[in-house]
Amino acid sequence: MKEYKIAVVGATGVVGEMMRRVLEEKRLPISEYVFFASKKSAGKKIVFMNKEYEIKELNENSFNDKFDFALFSAGGETSKKYSPIAASKGCIVIDNSSAFRMHEDVPLVVPEVNIEDATKHHGIIANPNCSTIQAVVALKPLEDKYKIKRIVYSTYQAVSGAGKHGINDLENGIKNSENKNKYELEKFKYEIFNNCLPHIDVFLDNGYTKEEEKMINETRKILHRPDLRITATTVRVPVMNSHSESINIEFENKFEDKELVETLKNSKGIIIQDDIKNEIYPIATSATGTDEVYVGRIRRDNSIENGVNLWVVADNIRKGAASNAIQIMEYLMDYKLEIRG
């Protein structure tokens, strides 16, 4: 069996750290790992699979040594500069930033939804936005069975999605809440402690935020439905990890309640938690540390003819970023073996 050489770019960030953890768990056929980060982190030592590694500084020559795959999670500007360099050397890049998601020739992939698109790459594959990933895992089986007419997204997104500075803002708010000490905000305009901020990423001219536009456009691309009617409101909440989403769906076709639940229950990557008699439904602390998408509060929307409401929760750093990228890589490893066979 071939063993692969991979690079992890942005290895010291929140997602990069999770990538290392997931890679340790999966034990894929990888013979060599190289970890890259910015100049600031270069030279630091990390322990990975009981072996010490030194973080290398990313530069234009980093991919001269042949790599099979590169997992990028170092921000859009870094990806724009270095992903094409890596791809030009024959490396398959799986990029976690928004840099290439809406490029026509770059597949935007969630393995449970459209893994076949991953084989159509030209050297770069995009990982969707974390909030989009968990949503489309729940939407895809329903799209296939009933055809979706319209989606209304309302998200409740954890601070880990804003990186280390977002986490620091919440932690500092908690620490200083009793004595009411003032502290410097690192990420958000307002305190996230005790607040919900309906503002993720920058505001656009149309009144939506960039995060909301990402969810709308990425859902259309992943489901291959450029005409799909979608609206979104994305909110940052004082939760450390795992995003929660209220998704209202209107279908073209009629559905039976029990059949719809069974459809979700039998779909890859989904766990149903929907027992209202015992007050069981998905919550962030239960989803954290897992790769599944949890769905509950499944109920018919009686205000329209063919509508349903879902509550969808997933770990935004694992399934919403690190694990999704590694699942794509894992599939391509198996695909290459099948082609050779």
Catalytic residues: 130, 243
Q: How far is CA 273 from CA 264, 276, 302, 315, in A?
A: 11, 9, 22, 15
Range list of β-strands (E), 176-286: 229-236, 243-251, 270-272
- Dihedral, 267, 268, 270, 276 alpha carbons, nearest 10: 30
Picking from 6, 96, 10, 24, the residue whose alpha carbon sits closest to that of residue 55 is 10
State how far the Cα of 34 lies from the Cα of 95, in Å rounded to an integer: 16
**32, 33, 47, 80, 208 from 51: Cα distances, Å:** 12, 11, 5, 31, 46
Helix (H) or strand (E) holding 165: helix 163-175
Q: Give the CA dihedral 275, 278, 279, 284, nearest 10 degrees.
A: -70
CB distance 161 to 170 below 8 Å: no
**Which residue has tokens 């099948």?**
338
- Please report, for residues 137, 180, 267, the alpha-carbon distance to residue 270 in angstroms, rounded to integers and kept in the order given: 7, 42, 6
- Cβ 228 vs Cβ 266: under 8 Å: no
What whole-number distance in Å separates Cα of residue 218 and Cα of residue 316?
16
